[in-house]
Amino acid sequence: MKYGDELLDLTGRDVSVARAVSRLTPAPLVNFYAGLIISIYPATSLGPVLTPLTNMLICIILMVVLPLAPIIYQAWRGKVDLDVSSREMRARFFVFALMCYALAYAVYWVTFCDEMRVLAAAYFFVTLGVMLATYISKVSVHATGVGGPGTAMLYIYGVSAFPVAFLWMAVVWARPKLKQHTTMQTIAGLLLGILITWCTYTVLYLA
């Protein structure tokens, strides 16, 4: 199993740094980071049912492991690379991820965990937006994946979450460096994640 950039002849220290950034920022893994932060430091509460541990277990299963599972399986079979570099192959994985995020939303809704419920909704709509945008251009899922949760953190925690901006810049630099996207595709993905997440939180958060 290989990532898309590993199929190219790329070398150098800057490539190594770009690879480190990319390996740490696939969308489901960023879900884990966001879920961990909300579990430990909820802005309001996790509701009357969930504890930090049970919240994280739900997040890991429904928003991290399951969305990644089909990609890993198909990469193991040699059908795709781990970045799903082929734009034509992405739709099926997006559809499965949408089902995972919808299920996560339902679980968090019945457990009255608004913090994670809105995050799951944001991921659903961001994923839907990227899936539709993919028919026009190969926007960066990495950039969208950090733009969305980063915006959620800013919306929930305010200026204390400002360091996410450095993560955004790192991903916008790394993906073109690895020749997986153009700079415009990466910026488009980032802006898409920011805009959709901000709109989602404006409508649903503490509504």
Q: What is the pLDDT of residues 81-117, one digit of tens each?
A: 777 777 778 888 899 999 999 999 999 999 999 999 9
Is the pLDDT score of 204 beyond 70? yes
Of 204, 135, 140, nearest in space to 175 by CA: 140
Q: Please list, in sequence order, all residues whose beta carbon lies within 8 angstroms of the beta carbon of residue 179, skipping any fewer than 6 positions away.
A: 5, 8, 10
At residue 13, φ and ψ (nearest 5 deg) are -65, -40
d(CA 189, CA 84): 15
Q: What share of the chain is helix, strand, coil (3-state, %, to 5)?
A: 75, 0, 25
pLDDT: which is higher, 198 or 81: 198
Helix/strand/coil for 44: coil
Question: Cα separation of 74 and 149, whole Å?
Answer: 26
pLDDT score at 146: 94
Q: In percent, how much of the chain has pLDDT > 90?
A: 62
